[in-house]
Amino acid sequence: MTNPHGKRRGTRDMFARDFRKRGLIPLSTYMICYRIGDIVDIKDCGTVTKGMPYKVYHGKPGRVYNVTMRAVGVIVNKRVKGRILSKKINLRVEHIRHSKCRDDFLKRVKENEAVKKEDKASGVYVCTRRAPDNTR
């Protein structure tokens, strides 16, 4: 028997819901606010087949460029042969979640601003640059 050639070929585990997470989708999924410029991760929800991205985009980060009532437009980089193309895809909100890739950066910026404010008051300079760990 030959391999199938369909759109959802090889997605048995990829689109499957987690253990004890099957059934209805929580309403909090629909209440999340997406704004233009947000960084989101694409993670397909196998329960909803409408607005589902192609399997290549599963697990990829993207930037929101358009927001409608039920769907979100996302710009994603896709590698095609030797080059990287930016693709615009429209997804329903069940298939995306906010990315946590910038959380560390924003936390560090906030801490640095607090340190700089204290240093300015006391008149002592403290370097806020990151230093590599000397673990060896």
At residue 92, φ and ψ (nearest 5 deg) are -80, 160
Integer Cα distance of 61 and 29 in angstroms:
18
**Span 19-62, pLDDT tens digits:** 998 989 999 999 999 999 999 999 999 999 999 999 999 999 99
**Span 3-12, pLDDT tens digits:** 889 999 999 9
Q: SS3 for 39? A: strand
Helix locations, 17-75, DSSP H:
28-31
Contact 60, 77 (CB under 8 A): yes
For the chain, give the mean pLDDT: 93
What pTM was estimated for this model as a whole? Answer: 0.82
Helix locations, the chain, DSSP H:
28-31, 103-122
